[in-house]
Amino acid sequence: MSVLIANFLVSLEWLTIVILLISLFNLSFSGFIPHIIFISWLMAFVGWGIDQTYLSGSTYALLIQVIALYLCTWLILRINVFYAFGISVVSYGIYMITQSALFLGLHAISFMDETDLVPLSEKQLILQGLSIAVPLLISYLATKLRIRYNLFVPTTEFIKLQFNRLNNITVFVLISMIGISVVNFHFITEGKITLFILISVIQLACVALLLYLFKRKEGIKHDRKVVRKISYSNKEDESRANA
């Protein structure tokens, strides 16, 4: 029974990450609710499967989970491979930073430390509850206040992607973000709080940089859209003039 409860709570965490992903990048919930629930349960199952192996609690576990989330975003939500990689890593990073900040806040008031990070323990449940509530609040505010990316994710999965300078930098930062998250997970499991704080700050900087790069790319898409509209309007005017 305790295993089922633990997996249910973990699935809620993954559900929160997927909702955050959809809210921030203006994807549609319509028709995808079963997919979203399936992803959250699948990710919880992946975590449970890892716990049954020698990889349990290792840094490889986090790496496998990030890759699994990326594959789910790409194959189940049917998002282009490049954009699925970007939004899944960023959404996971925002959740991890939120959880890290909450843990450090509770640690600062001597409420909990790394030894309390035990599944179904009272303090761990409080941390999980807060870690779910805060990102859900962010998702709600992003939707309510329209603070999100409207043009970043293409409407079709099959697009021709050019690896220009901006895209190359984005991929490099995304991969670095995954590496930093793995290192940070190692530090917290080893109880190295000072290094954990330092890497968390670097992790936050990476997420902020990625959000900036996404905004740059969205701005380029917006400019192209405006140019196409102007070009189409000019062609219509020429057609009317020649009529």
**Does position 229 have pLDDT exceeding 90, yes or no?**
no
- What's the pLDDT score for residue 237? 47
More confident residue, 100 or 218: 100
Alpha-carbon distance of 36 to 18, in angstroms, equals: 7
Task: Provide the token pair at 95.
Answer: 């959740």
**Does position 19 have pLDDT exceeding 70, yes or no?**
yes
Is residue 88 within 8 Å of 184, Cβ to Cβ?
A: no
Q: Rounded to two decimals, what is the model's pTM?
A: 0.85
Alpha-carbon distance of 90 to 131, in angstroms, equals: 16
Q: For residue 115, what is the DSSP state?
A: G
Distances from the Cα of 13 to the Cαs of 10, 127, 128, in angstroms? 5, 11, 8
- What's the pLDDT score for residue 105? 93
Instruction: Give pLDDT tens digits for 135-145.
Output: 999 999 988 88
Is residue 190 within 8 Å of 116, Cβ to Cβ?
A: no
Task: Provide the token pair at 174.
Answer: 């995304």
Closest CA to 152 of 94, 216, 201: 216
pLDDT (mean) for 130-155:
87
- What's the pLDDT score for residue 230? 47
- What's the pLDDT score for residue 234? 47
pLDDT (mean) for 233-240:
49
Task: Provide the token pair at 18.
Answer: 């997927």
Question: Domain ranges in the chain?
Answer: 2-154+164-242
Task: Provide the token pair at 115.
Answer: 């030894």
Place of tokens 């997420």: 207
Lowest mean pLDDT among 39-53, 92-106, 144-158, 183-197: 144-158
Q: Which helix H or strand E contains 144, and what residues bound it?
A: helix 122-144
Phi, psi of 160 (to 5 degrees): -85, 115
Band (148; pLDDT cuts 50, 70, 90): confident
**Does position 59 have pLDDT exceeding 80, yes or no?**
no
